[in-house]
Amino acid sequence: MSNFMKVEFSAKSENESFARTTVAAFIAQLDPTVEELTEIKTVVSEAVTNAIIHGYEENEEGTVLIECELKDQDISLTIRDFGNGIEDVDEAIQPMYTSKPELERSGMGFTIMENFMDHFEIESIPNHGTTVTLRKKFLNNQSAYN
């Protein structure tokens, strides 16, 4: 089985739940376990929130692009913004690092993405945006109970 979707939306905080729900509905055809579905929804939420808060600094005129590809039991997600970019990616991916401590953020978004997925990659160009690529192989739901 192979399938693909692409969705672009305004960088508004209320669209984070739209993105999470859209990806969850799309991957439902793989019959994911509850744990797999929860993990995917969480990483989408983290990536989209980062794009809105850090990429665009909550400037709602920006756009966020999500691409999702399914091949057999593999999911590939790309979340992209065209905003500020990240000056130092190595620093940004450190657990507990946050560029906005005044917002009382935990700085765990990238760590969560890395731990929930089989593959985590981030590419960023200052003043041009950030692309997060995530991949995961789903268990065959039936074998999850054997």
Could you give the residue numbers annotated as active site? 46, 50, 105
Burial 87-98 (b: 16+ CB within 10 A, else e): eeeeebbeeebb
Contact by Cβ (8 Å): 103, 58: no
Residue ranges in the chain assigned as alpha helix (H): 15-27, 34-50, 89-92, 109-116
Contact by Cβ (8 Å): 50, 59: no
Q: How far, in whole angstroms, is CA 135 from its chain's centroid?
A: 10
Tokens of 11: 């960088």
92 φ/ψ sector (left φ>0, alpha ψ -120 to 50, else beta): alpha
